Amino acid sequence: MRNIFSTCTPIIVAFFALTILSCTKYQIPGREIAGPGDTEEDEIVSTCNPDTVYFNKDVLPLVVSSCATSGCHDKDSHREGVILTDYTSILRTGGIKPGDPNDSKFLEMLTDNGDDQMPPPPNDAWTSEQIQMMRRWIAQGAKNNACSDGCDMSNVTFSGQIWPMMETYCTGCHSASSASGGIVIAGYDDMVALAGNGSLMGAIRYESGYAKMPPNQQLSECNINLLQKWIDEGFSDL
């Protein structure tokens, strides 16, 4: 028996050595094994179709900011019976005919130059781009749809992310002609002033001692982080 084991021992050792080496080098096809110091980064994934207008991302923030304000079309004021704070109310009372923008009174009032103009003077009128966006949403069926853009924090600039965000959520209440609470957000200098004294982040984070902004719908975590990064990196205006 000793002779048999003496003869087999080198073979057994060699077999296990080859097995261990094979296992350490094996990998699932198509998947690399990370080496020392390698990390996997989360991919920025977007579920938004650029040809689609989304109610929760594009329409609701703009309508709430410019129309669903105190004294106009919020739930408490409901001027002329119109409430524009949520999807159901907008479709029931806002003069929206899904699929037919030409027969939707909401659009007629946006482009009216008379007594029915909305928003009424001295509030700023919607831009042509905003009106076309609303027209496309109605033409696409005025759906209660939503999507996620991911959250690209790689290059945060005023013109690229910050100002478009303000136009969607804030300038309807804080333009030069309708400065709610005495706060004007008309451009870069106004934003730097608000960010510099801490009132901007206090308001959008709904912190105690600050008026909530926007009042009806808090900004997403992504948008809050984008604003904070813009501030931390020195208010890039590119």
Among 105, 139, 173, identify where a domain stops.
Answer: 139
- 64 and 132 in a single domain? The answer is yes
Whether 149 is in a domain gets the answer no
Whether 36 is in a domain gets the answer no
- 133 and 188 in a single domain? The answer is no
Phi, psi dihedral angles at 115 (to 5 degrees): -70, -20
Whether 77 is in a domain gets the answer yes
**Residue 58 — left, alpha, or beta (φ > 0 → left; ψ -120 to 50 → alpha)?**
alpha
Whether 135 is in a domain gets the answer yes
Distance CA 139, CA 236 (A): 37
Q: What confidence category does residue 1 fall into, taking pLDDT thresholds of 50, 70 and 90?
A: very low
Q: Could you report the per-residue pLDDT of 32-73, keeping only the tens digit for each?
A: 333 333 333 334 456 899 999 999 999 999 998 888 887 889
Does 30 have pLDDT greater than 80? no
Whether 18 is in a domain gets the answer no
Whether 67 is in a domain gets the answer yes
Distance CA 28, CA 36 (A): 18
- Minimal CA–CA distance to 110: which of 128, 88, 89, 90? 128
- 173 and 220 in a single domain? The answer is yes
Please give the span between the terminal C-alpha atoms of the chain, in angstroms, as a whole number: 83
The C-alpha angle with vertex 114 and arms to 111 and 115, in degrees rounded to 5, equals: 115
Neighbours of 59 (CB within 10 A): 25
Strand-pair partners of 175: 178
DSSP 124-141: PPPPHHHHHHHHHHHHTT
Average pLDDT over every residue of 162-174: 90
- 196 and 168 in a single domain? The answer is yes
Distance CA 185, CA 172 (A): 9
Q: How much is the mean pLDDT over the chain?
A: 82
Residue 49: both structure tokens together: 């179709």
Phi, psi dihedral angles at 178 (to 5 degrees): -145, 75
- 178 and 219 in a single domain? The answer is yes
- 59 and 133 in a single domain? The answer is yes
- 67 and 135 in a single domain? The answer is yes
Q: What confidence category does residue 158 fall into, taking pLDDT thresholds of 50, 70 and 90?
A: very high
- 86 and 120 in a single domain? The answer is yes
The secondary structure of the chain in percent helix, strand, coil, rounded to multiples of 5, reads: 50, 0, 50
Phi, psi dihedral angles at 179 (to 5 degrees): -85, 90
- 104 and 134 in a single domain? The answer is yes
Distance CA 108, CA 114 (A): 11
Tell me how far CA of residue 189 lies from CA of 51, 131, 142, 176, 199, in angstroms. 33, 27, 36, 13, 14
Q: Could you report the per-residue pLDDT of 199-229, keeping only the tens digit for each?
A: 999 999 999 999 999 887 889 999 999 999 9
Among 110, 139, 168, identify where a domain stops.
Answer: 139
Reported as type and span, the H/E element at residue 65 is helix 60-66
Range of the structural domain that residue 211 is part of = 158-232
- 60 and 124 in a single domain? The answer is yes
- 180 and 118 in a single domain? The answer is no
- 84 and 130 in a single domain? The answer is yes
Q: Could you report the per-residue pLDDT of 69-89, keeping only the tens digit for each?
A: 878 898 888 889 999 999 999
Residue 106: both structure tokens together: 């909401």
Tell me how far CA of residue 41 lies from CA of 30, 38, 149, in angstroms. 17, 10, 17
Does 115 have pLDDT greater than 70? yes
Contact between 95 and 83 (Cβ < 8 Å) = no
3-class state of residue 23 by DSSP? helix
How many structural domains is the chain composed of? 2
Does 188 have pLDDT greater than 80? yes
Among 139, 167, 200, identify where a domain stops.
Answer: 139
